[in-house]
Amino acid sequence: MALLEVQNLQTHFRTPDGINRAVDGVSFVVNEGETLAIVGESGCGKSVTAMSILRLIPEPPGKISGSIRFMDQDLLALSEKQMRAIRGNAISMIFQEPMTSLNPVLTIGRQLRETLRLHQPISQVQAQARALEMLDLVGISEAARRLNEYPHQLSGGMRQRVMIALALACNPRLLIADEPTTALDVTIQAQILDLMTDLKKKIGAAIVLITHDLGVVAEVAERVMVMYAGRKVEEAPVDELFARPLHPYTQGLLGAVPKLGGSAQGHTSRLREIPGLVPSLKQKIKGCVFASRCPLAKEPCHEIAPALQDKGNGHWVTCHFAGESAFSHD
Let me know if 192 is exposed, middle or buried by CB neighbors in 10 A (0-12, 13-18, 19+): buried
Please answer whether residues 69 and 123 qualify as being in contact, where contact means their C-beta atoms are separated by less than 8 angstroms.
Answer: no
Task: Quote the CA–CA distance of 295 and 285 in Å, as a whole number.
Answer: 18
Q: What is the CA radius of gyration of the chain?
A: 21
Greater confidence (201 vs 56) lies with 56
Q: Is residue 133 assigned to a domain?
A: yes
Distances (CA, A) of 231 to 3, 202, 207, 251, 285: 22, 33, 20, 17, 11
pLDDT for 36 beyond 90: yes
For position 172, what pLDDT does the model report? 85
Please identify, among 109, 139, 171, the residue that sits at the C-terminal boundary of a domain. Answer: 171
Q: Is residue 115 assigned to a domain?
A: yes
Question: Could you tell me the pTM of the whole model?
Answer: 0.86
Kindly report the length of the chain: 330
Please identify, among 156, 171, 186, the residue that sits at the C-terminal boundary of a domain. Answer: 171
Residues whose CB is less than 8 angstroms from the CB of residue 49 and which lie 6 or more positions away in sequence, other chains included = 6, 9, 11, 23, 26, 38, 210, 227
Residues 138, 283, single domain; the answer is no
Residues 188, 225, single domain; the answer is yes
Residues 166, 193, single domain; the answer is no
pLDDT for 266 beyond 60: no
Partners of 65 in beta bridges: 10
Which of 19-33, 124-138, 184-198, 211-225 is least confident? 184-198
pLDDT for 56 beyond 70: yes
Q: How many CB atoms lie within 10 A of CB 97?
A: 15
Number of separate domains in the chain: 2
Task: Quote the CA–CA distance of 125 and 127 in Å, as a whole number.
Answer: 5
Residues 298, 253, single domain; the answer is yes
pLDDT for 11 beyond 80: yes
